[in-house]
Chains A and B, each alone.
Chain A
Amino acid sequence: MAEKKPKIVAFCCERHGTDAAVLSARTGKQYDASVRLVQVPCTGRVDGMHILQALEDGADAVFVLGCLEKNCYYDTGSIEGRKRVGYVKQMLAEVGIEKERVEMFNAASTNAWAFPEAVGKMVEVAKKLGPIGGGERP
């Protein structure tokens, strides 16, 4: 049987987040294909509901990548994003699901390492923890 492939969702802001991901590819960085990048205009657009729904839909881990907090394109968007992620983590902890399945990262568009590093961390988490509830993947 083939090794189970983790499923990671990355909500990336259209500004620094996506730009950092694009730059990493342009500079030849390779990362695990498991990541599913979903663009949002700003991490402040991310709703805790999106993250939880992604976990429900089979994601093993979800991360949100936004601008650096002090240099957010939408001024305070990545702060909002961080707070949303924080609340989801708290909820997960309350229902006994590992909160490290959800993470917030920040990057500048020039940080070519940021996206692959985030993917690497989350893949590691997903591999360590396996699917939520331990069930077979659909």
Chain B
Amino acid sequence: MIVAKRKPLNEIAEMLAPYKKVTVVGCRSCVAICLAGGEKEVKMLVSALKLKAKKDGRKQQFEGFVVERQCEKEWVSEVEEKILDSNVTLSMACSLGAQTIGDMYPKHLTFPGLNTGIFGVPEEQGVWSEKCVGCGNCIIHTTGGICPIARCAKSMLNGPCGGSANRKCEVNLEVDCAWAAIYDRLKLQNRLDLIEQLTPAKDWSTSHAGGRRTYVREDAKLTPHQKKGKGAVL
């Protein structure tokens, strides 16, 4: 899932300080699960912002809502009135949600309440770790199911660097060395020959390096004939 975390409250309060009426919109999707922008977080944030405004002597109104998935227009439009009725919307979704609102209402201000970080998995309750960087060309079948692009600080393709000590990463001694993990996994699978093979330079054109990406499933796209109302091609 997409993992995000709330911006520091001071930063949010400062961002919102000039505006009277603030609509906070959360999301029930990834950010709810990673405890950043679900209904509870939205409610707590609204309370905290109200307290902060009170303490600072600012007259501000805050109201919180949550939509199913903020990255989809249909869900956002459920709270359209609330968004447009405010001076600014604070999105408590990942940046995709915030940008969806922004794109839908370009005149309206939409600010991010979260810092969107990683494609990660919950390792344990309350701990999320990055396991994918969306390079667009998955190779983990050759690396024991462990992604070295995401899990190695240097995205090494040919084994661990010389800084791996005690099977930990030199950059963060709390984090396992991705290549030590790959080595162990391949050893377990009796496929160590895989890391003895030379991996050539990676083609990064499928990643963000190749420019902004759009994935299209032609068979799923609605043809102009299938669209209704305003969505119909004129």
Contact = CB atoms under 8 A, between A and B. Distances in A.
Direct contact of A and B (CB under 8 A): yes
Interface of A: 69-70, 76, 79-80, 83-84, 86-87, 90
13 contacts: A70-B225, A76-B225, A76-B226, A79-B223, A80-B226, A83-B219, A83-B220, A83-B221, A84-B219, A86-B218, A86-B219, A87-B217, A90-B219
Interface in B198-234: 217-221, 223, 225-226
The DSSP consensus for interface residues of chain A is helix
How many interface residues does chain B have, given as a range? under 10
B225 to A, nearest CB: 6
A84 B218 CA distance: 10
Nearest to A89: B219
B151 to A, nearest CB: 30
| Interface SS of chain B | helix
B226 A79 contact: yes
Contacts of A90: 219
A69 B226 CA distance: 11
B215 to A, nearest CB: 14
B121 to A, nearest CB: 29
Given A76-B223, A76-B226, A87-B219, 17 more contacts: A69-B225, A70-B225, A76-B225, A79-B223, A79-B225, A79-B226, A80-B226, A83-B218, A83-B219, A83-B220, A83-B221, A84-B219, A86-B218, A86-B219, A87-B217, A87-B218, A90-B219
A46 to B, nearest CB: 12
B191 to A, nearest CB: 25
Contacts of A76: 223, 225-226
Contacts of B225: 69-70, 76, 79
Contacts of A79: 223, 225-226
A22 B219 CA distance: 30
A70 B223 CA distance: 12
Contacts of A80: 226
3 shortest interchain CB distances as A-B pairs:
A83-B219, A87-B219, A76-B226
A108 B223 CA distance: 21
A26 B225 CA distance: 33
Contacts of B226: 76, 79-80
Contacts of A70: 225
A97 B223 CA distance: 28
Most interface-central of B219, B220, B221, B225 (chain A CB within 10 A): B219
